[in-house]
Chains A and B, each alone.
Chain A
Amino acid sequence: MNFSSFFFLSVVVLCMGLPARAELTARLTKHGSNKSTLDWSAFRVSGGAAERLFLQTLQNDLKLSGCFINKSASPAEYRIVGSAAANGPRLTVQISAVDQLNSAIYGQAFEHQAQDAQVRDLAHRIADELVEKLAGQKGIAQARIALIGTASNRKELYLAGSDGQGIMQITNDQSLSLSPNWSQDGRSLVYTSYLMGYPDIYRITLNTGKRERISNFPGLNTGGALSPDGQNVALVLSKDGKPELYVKNLPTGRVTRLTKTRSSPKASPSWSPDGNRIVFVSGHEGGPLLYTISRSGGRVTPLRVGGVENVAPNWGPDGRICYASRVGRDQYGIRIYDPAAQGNKVTEVTSGQAGSFEDPSWASNGRHIYCSRKVNYRSSIYLLDTLGDPPIALISSGKGDWYTPKASP
């Protein structure tokens, strides 16, 4: 062929080889995972309040797991057989799950206290056992959610069940409490409080209510997040003249500065599951974006996730990071960054949903995410499913608003 044909052919070939403008994110299109059906028609419940609360809680937990569909007739993959009956202060439960070949895959009997809180606990425990036995997925029904609420007018610390029920007020300081984070053993929380007039970091041991102040430097103390081994706490401090990321070793009290950037806001540190790195928000390149750094400091590495504003990262048990990204005028959506994914590492979880989704945090099963959802400036708590089930409201705004939910590990 002559040169001019070769020229045109090579331009055509080059254009085909150039990558098309990359899709920013993949969208979750799978509509839920495979679900097993449960037939409850052989499970007998007397009309009392305790029994009804038990059944309602258990069935709801199984639905929230994303693994089951509750039915009241056959055919179903499993039949739930048994009964729940209250006798004065005690609740007696017998429960089995029988498959289509009539084998009992699960069978247990319980005798338990019949007060509301204990009835819920029993239902949560059985739900987790069923989820693990029948679906092979880690159960999250027994987890608790730590969150901030304004039901008493000021922002206080609360605990709720994983289903959003059984809400308990933990602080009553009439000041301002913010952003709780769990210890890995689920026994304590660190959070920011203005109890003494300035933003300091406190640790509260939940079964005793005992509190200690673990950071009260001049200026800002916030973003308290405990390392997986419980020995260190990541912090945002401004004591050296500008907000930076620090780590305080709890046994020795020694504070190490991690970041040294242009003066800019820092926020929301979250530890990797192996405790070696921390993901956080920094504004040193203009607006809030995500970065990671080693626990001992050094280079600040941007997380390449695109977007114009990324905040509130949470590093989950399987290594994925969920975060909120600005998707419209003052609206945020939840995204996931998967460092191990081939090709596209970013997935949108809430695309197409109305409202602004913020402050996401992983459930311990690495599948579900708790977050807040703002509509008309009212804030509620929602459960999101990374396998595509639609968002479910757990705690709706009403007397007050609810913020920054974190599930226990």
Chain B
Amino acid sequence: MRKLRFLFTVITVVAVLGLTSGCRKPKSAGDDALNPDVTGIDDGQIPDATPWGQGGEFDGSPLGSRPDLGTEFVPTDLNIQNVLFGYDSSNVEPSERYKVEIVGDYLVNNPEVSLVVEGHADERGSSDYNLALSERRALAIRDYLVQLGAGAARLTTSPMGEEYPVSFGHDEQSWQVNRRGEFKFYK
């Protein structure tokens, strides 16, 4: 009889725990059923070790004063491409890094050139938030350029939010190319 009583107690405890855990409200996170192309929200993930990634306490280098830009020009023989970003992300993806490295090399070899990194976002979501998101993207690119040896003093950011799309469709094809960082050269 004692064994049975103990068994009943265990079952009760387990049942109660099972029922209460089912009623706990899930933490807010991206609802993939609503938006399948949302990348997983890194709720509770260990911050990225790479300095230019999203997450971690890396503050980024403080922005120096806006450089005296001089005149805008387009470097010839340089393969300049817009850096593309994931939805709601300001991570410079591994597959995109070479685009920043091309510019980094050029800047190291041409110390008289200043650069403005323009950040952009696609049209979805709050326009205020997209302005700051586009700045995060520009800063992520700028931070990587500083890591590559381009002097921080001649690099600045210009966030444009969702205001200047390059593609005007209302679909992922357009949105992907609008989530970008652009390079503007001055000397």
Contact (A288, B19) CB under 8 Å given A220-B135, A242-B136, A242-B139: no
Q: Is the CB of A358 within 8 A of B126?
A: yes
Tell me which residues across on chain B come within 8 A of A266, comparing CB atoms. Answer: 132
Known contacts A11-B12, A218-B156: does B129 contact A281 (CB below 8 Å)?
yes
Q: Find out whether the CB atom of A4 lies under 8 angstroms from the CB atom of B8.
A: yes
A4-B8, A15-B19, A243-B136 known; A265 vs B62 contact (CB < 8 Å): no
Nearest chain A CB to B3's CB is how many angstroms away? 12
| B contact residues around A239 at 8 Å (CB) | 62-63
Q: Are B31 and A14 in contact (CB under 8 A)?
A: no
Q: Does A222 contact B (CB under 8 A)?
A: yes
Considering the complex, which residues of chain B in the window 6-65 have a beta carbon less than 8 Å from any beta carbon of chain A?
8, 11-12, 15-16, 19-20, 23, 25, 28-31, 34-35, 41-43, 47, 54-65
Please determine whether B15 and A306 come into contact, CB atoms closer than 8 angstroms: no
Minimal Cβ-Cβ distance residue in B for A280: B128
Number of interface residues of B (CB under 8 A): 58
B167 at the interface (CB under 8 A from A): no
* CB of A212 closer than 8 Å to a CB of B: no
Q: How far is the CA of A197 from the CA of B156 in the complex (A)?
A: 12
The answer to whether B132 touches A267, judged by C-beta atoms less than 8 angstroms apart, is: yes
Contact code string A14-25 (vs B, CB < 8 Å = 1, else 0): 110011111000
Question: Which one of B76-84, B93-101, B107-115, B157-165 is at the A interface?
Answer: B157-165
Do B126 and A281 touch across chains, with their CB atoms under 8 A apart?
A: yes
Nearest-CB distance from A301 to chain B (Å)?
15
Whether B35 contacts A220 by the Cβ 8 Å rule is no
Is B66's CB under 8 angstroms from A242's CB? no
A236 proximal to B (CB < 8 A): yes
Q: Does A253 make an interface contact (CB < 8 A)? A: no
B123 near A377 (CB under 8 angstroms)? yes
Tell whether, in the assembled complex, residue B128 and residue A219 are in contact, meaning their CB atoms are under 8 Å apart. no
Measured CA separation A283–B135 after assembly (Å): 13
Contacts of A281 in B (CB 8 A): 126, 128-129
1/0 contact string of A240-269 vs chain B (CB within 8 Å) = 111100000000000000000011111110
Is B42 within 8 A of A286, CB to CB? yes
Asked whether any CB of chain A lies closer than 8 Å to the CB of B131, the reply is: yes
Interface hits, A149-187 → B, CB 8 Å: 155, 176, 178-179
Query: In this complex, what residue of A is CB-closest to B119?
Result: A220
Tell me if A283 and B133 are in contact (CB < 8 A).
yes
Task: Please report the C-alpha to C-alpha distance between residue A308 and residue B41 in the assembled complex, in whole angstroms.
Answer: 10
Neighbouring B residues of A220 by C-beta, 8 Å:
131-132, 135, 157, 159
Please name the residue on chain A nearest to B16 by beta carbon: A14
Contact with A312, one of B4, B25, B128 (Cβ below 8 angstroms): B128
Of all chain B residues, which has the CB nearest A24?
Answer: B25
CB-based nearest A residue for B45 = A286
CA distance A242 to B161 in the complex (A): 15
With A329-B35, A330-B124, A404-B127 in contact, is A265–B132 under 8 Å at CB? yes
Q: Chain A: interface residue count, which band?
A: 35 or more
- Across the interface, name the chain A residue whose C-beta is closest to B133: A265
Q: List A contacts of B156 (CB < 8 A).
A: 218-219
Say yes or no for A43: interface residue by CB 8 A criterion.
no
Q: CA A62 – CA B66 in complex, angstroms?
A: 51
Knowing A18-B20, A267-B126, the reply to whether A10 touches B12 (Cβ < 8 A) is yes
**Residue in B23, B61, B90, B132 with the greatest tally of chain A CB atoms within 10 Å:** B132
A220-B132, A265-B135, A328-B34 in contact; A286/B43 too (CB < 8 A)?
Answer: yes
CB interface residues, A 1-48, toward B, < 8 Å: 3-4, 7, 10-11, 14-15, 18-22
- Chain B residues with Cβ under 8 A from A3's Cβ? 4-5, 8
Q: Which residues of A contact B130 (CB under 8 A)?
A: 265
> Given that A198-B158, A287-B30, A377-B123 are known contacts, is A267 also in contact with B54, CB under 8 Å in the complex?
no
Let me know if A54 is at the binding interface, CB within 8 A. Answer: no
Within 8 Å CB of B163, what residues of A? 155, 176, 178
**Contact status B63-A238, CB under 8 Å:** yes
Which B residues from 149 to 187 make CB contacts under 8 A with A? 156-159, 161, 163, 170
Contacting pair A218 B128 (CB below 8 A): no
Does A287 lie within 8 Å of B88, measured CB to CB? yes
When distances are taken between beta carbons in the complex, the residues of chain B under 8 Å from A19 are 23
Contacts of B125 in A (CB 8 A): 288, 309, 311, 330
Residue among A217, A263, A309 making CB contact with B136, cutoff 8 Å: A263
Determine whether the beta carbon of B23 is less than 8 Å from that of A268: no
Known contacts A306-B25, A377-B170: A242-B59 contact under CB 8 Å: yes
Ordered by A's residue number, 16 sampled pairs between the chains whose C-beta atoms are within 8 Å are: A3-B5, A18-B23, A20-B23, A176-B163, A199-B131, A220-B135, A220-B159, A262-B54, A263-B55, A263-B58, A263-B59, A265-B135, A268-B126, A286-B43, A306-B25, A377-B123
A263-B59, A263-B136, A308-B31 known, 4 other contacts, Cβ within 8 Å: A219-B156, A263-B56, A287-B29, A311-B129
Using a CB–CB distance below 8 Å, which chain B residues touch chain A?
4-5, 8, 11-12, 15-16, 19-20, 23, 25, 28-31, 34-35, 41-43, 47, 54-66, 88, 90, 123-133, 135-136, 139, 143, 156-159, 161, 163, 170
Q: Which 5 A-B pairs have the closest CB atoms?
A: A241-B60, A286-B41, A265-B132, A311-B126, A218-B63
| Chain A contact residues, CB within 8 Å of chain B | 3-4, 7, 10-11, 14-15, 18-22, 155, 176, 178-179, 192, 197-199, 217-220, 222-223, 236, 238-243, 262-268, 281, 283, 285-289, 306-309, 311-312, 324, 326, 328-330, 358-359, 377, 403-404
